[in-house]
Amino acid sequence: MNELARTLIGDSAAAPAAHILEGLDDELVHRNTPGAPHTIYEELWHLAFWQQITLDWIHGEETAYPANASLGFPSGSELKLESWDHLRQRFLDGSQTAAAISCEGDRLAQSIRCPSPPGKPLRTMSVREQLESLAAHNAYHLGRIVLLRQLSGAWPPASGGSTW
């Protein structure tokens, strides 16, 4: 496994996503934490949303960039459509797909078209650059999930995670 794949699914700079997301029940993932703009569920939904857009772009589907940032988080009705377990598995499966692509050597240099926010020009980047962007985005939001777990007294998970 290369370092990019390890960053997407493994134990690179932080605990693996699968560990960060384990052992959480519906009450905790939907709990509002004072001062935090999103719940654990909303953070993961956001991750799965952007991960799917990244995979779409890599596969040549020019999925539109959301018109505003709020569209990248679930609405009230979307919070009820998907169970936590299904959302978690969907995210982890997408992470596995992204990690597998990161090991495809020649494909990493391939240029892909990445739509931009409305009013900004279309971007072109390599598959590697898009996966690196995804890994950075995932790390940021997974870190927010860790913090929400810490604030709720639900860290570390049974499989382990840094406590420092």
At 22-35, the pLDDT tens digits run 999 999 999 999 99
Mean of pLDDT values over 63-73: 91
On whether the CB atoms of residues 91 and 51 are closer than 8 A, the answer is yes
pLDDT at 78: 87
Query: Six-digit token pair at 59?
Result: 């596969």
Q: Which domain holds residue 11?
A: 3-151
State yes or no: pLDDT of 76 exceeds 90: no
On whether the CB atoms of residues 75 and 82 are closer than 8 A, the answer is no
* CATH code (residue 16): 1.20.120.450
The whole-angstrom distance between residue 25's C-alpha and the CA centroid of its chain comes to: 19
State yes or no: pLDDT of 11 exceeds 90: no
Contacts (Cβ under 8 Å, ≥6 apart) of 146: 14, 15, 20, 155, 161
State yes or no: pLDDT of 164 exceeds 70: no
Residue 162 within a domain? no
- In 81-128, which ranges are E strands? 111-114, 123-126
Confidence band of 10 (pLDDT split at 50, 70, 90): confident
pLDDT at 148: 98
pLDDT at 163: 66
Residue 46 within a domain? yes
Number of domains forming the structure of the chain: 1
